[in-house]
Amino acid sequence: MKQTVTLEIAGTRFRLVADTDEAHLQELAALVNERVAQLGKGGSASSGQLLALVALGLADDLKTAERKLKRVEELTRRTVHSALARIDHRLGEALDHVGQQPQADDEDDAP
């Protein structure tokens, strides 16, 4: 359900219509404001410049996280493939072992 949410980012109030949880949006705005405050210490950059730097920082964080995720996915894929290969090998050995055991005669099983 869409709702109107007011966020304050870098000293400017924004009214948004969103279907996202307001608390989540407030958390995101707080993250942006925290980064703006860190970058703005001791400088004379405008809020637009600070927001541009924050956007670049967040984009860099996203790309870094995507690269890490890709590495984890590749490692997971290789690990699962290796585990399955070992399982297949062991099952093959077990089947070979079962196939080498002497077969009991059906007549010996008769009462």
Where residue 1 falls among pLDDT bands split at 50, 70, 90? Answer: confident
Residue 9 forms part of a structural domain? yes
- Which residues contact residue 17 at a Cβ distance below 8 angstroms, ignoring those fewer than 6 apart? 2, 3, 4, 5
Q: 51 lies in which domain range? A: 3-99
Residue 107 forms part of a structural domain? no
Whether the predicted pLDDT of 106 surpasses 60: no
Residue 111 forms part of a structural domain? no
Q: Using one digit for the tens of pLDDT, what is the confidence trace for 26-80?
A: 999 999 999 999 998 877 889 899 999 999 999 999 999 999 999 999 999 999 9
Residue with more model confidence, 85 or 97? 85
Residue 12 forms part of a structural domain? yes
The percent of residues in the chain predicted with pLDDT above 90, rounded, is 73
Residue 48 forms part of a structural domain? yes
Number of separate domains in the chain: 1
